[in-house]
Amino acid sequence: MVTLPIILEVINTRKHRVLMVAQAALPEHQYRAFKTLFLDEFGQKGLETELARIFTEDRQQGKG
């Protein structure tokens, strides 16, 4: 069964790699701004929260 923690683990691995590439390619001040925006979109304030909501709704519909 696919679970939220499994999906988040896979996503976090990719996020880490993207941040490493950005850090290598951008000047420090641009990297800091990119990292903030990137994590807002794909971290707990963005994608992770949306996925948690989707999984919760799916579980609730399965019980109903």
DSSP labels, 1-64: ---HHHHHHHHHHHHHHHHHHHHHHS-HHHHHHHHHHHHHHHSTTTHHHHHHHHHHHHHHHHH-
For the segment 13-41, what is each residue's pLDDT rounded down to a tens digit? 999 999 999 999 999 999 999 999 999 99
CA dihedral 11, 2, 6, 8 (to 10 degrees): 40
Q: How far apart are CA 41 and CA 57, in angstroms?
A: 21
43-62 pLDDT, tens digit each: 999 999 999 999 999 888 87
**Is 1's pLDDT higher than 90?**
no
Give the pLDDT of residue 3.
Answer: 92
